[in-house]
Amino acid sequence: MPTNTPPLSDDTTVHTLIIDTDPGADDVIALLLAMASPERLKIRALTTVAGNVPLAKTSRNARLAREWGQRPDIPVHGGAQRPLLRTPIYAADIHGSEGITGVRVHEPAQPLAEGHAVDYLIDTLRAAPAQSVTLAMLGPQTNLALALAQAPDIVRGLRELVLMAGAHFNGGNITPTAEFNVFADPHAAEIVLGSGVPITMLPLDLTHKVLATPERIARLRGLGNEAGRIVADILDAYVRHDMQYYGLPGGPVHDATVIGYLLQPSLFDGRWVNVAIDSREGLGFGQTVVDWYGGLKKPANVRWIAEGDAQGFFDLLTRGISRLP
């Protein structure tokens, strides 16, 4: 694809959506924004994967987000408990031992849906009309990689993949070169990037510019609803680490930008580039190798989003959260 190819969607597109997620504080905020937008995002299911914390906790946290968003109609399917090949790693130093800080967690009343997430993806995408399902991926890409390995024909049902993943200009956040979601399962990321499905990536290059400042968090808290309080409490706790570590005036809300992109892609800008994954052991393990200037002359496989309207995104987030109870 040429570098000037426009996004596949616009600000009016209605998505049939599956969200693959490893909650995680920023995942919870992403899920709440998605659940607040039923006129644009027709959520078929949430599928969970081990990532920020082990699978039992990411699955519970996805169910908590569903409870907070009052969307009992959305099934949650538990998925992969570990990466394809590498030793599992987690991010409890960022997200806390429970995966969410700033709020009390509990076991939600509504259980997981029957059936493994990988089986759900295979069955749903095989039955879907051609190029009809958007898959938002907020964590390691293990579930989709397993589904593609077992049933490569499922690409027919996918319209596009929108991923929070990768880093280039910004540098990594788990190593100097790697972003966490890719580092947690680079072999899965390789499979997904080779799928042939149109991919949009929202990397650290973008998310470290879209910051939850104290003023923006206060605006969410000032909404006066329960969802606004939950999001503000989570953000108050979550952003402290990155503000201190990176010296930023606020903290990124990485995964929530994926939902922002689906709702209002005009807020974001990027280009089609060739992206490869370094899965070799060593300093570059988990790096997204981005051919920004096209010097390798390889076909573009990713729309890499490098810029975004931060205030526009937080206006969108605040409007969305205001619609929740």
Smallest CA-to-CA distance from 124 within 115, 78, 63, 70 is with 115
- Alpha helix positions (H), 52-137: 55-68, 92-95, 117-127
Catalytic residue list contains 254: yes
Secondary structure of residue 86 in the 3-state scheme: coil
Instruction: Look up residue 4 and give its two tokens.
Output: 């000037």
Instruction: Look up residue 159 and give its two tokens.
Output: 């319209």
Helix (H) or strand (E) run with residue 161 in it: strand 158-164
The vertex-77 CA angle with 229 and 157, nearest 5°, equals 110
Q: One of 15, 168, 208, 254 is an active-site residue; which one?
A: 254
CA pair distance 282, 23, nearest whole angstrom? 28
Cα-only R_g, the chain: 18
Q: Check residue 195 and report its DSSP letter.
A: S
Please give the positions annotated as active site.
254
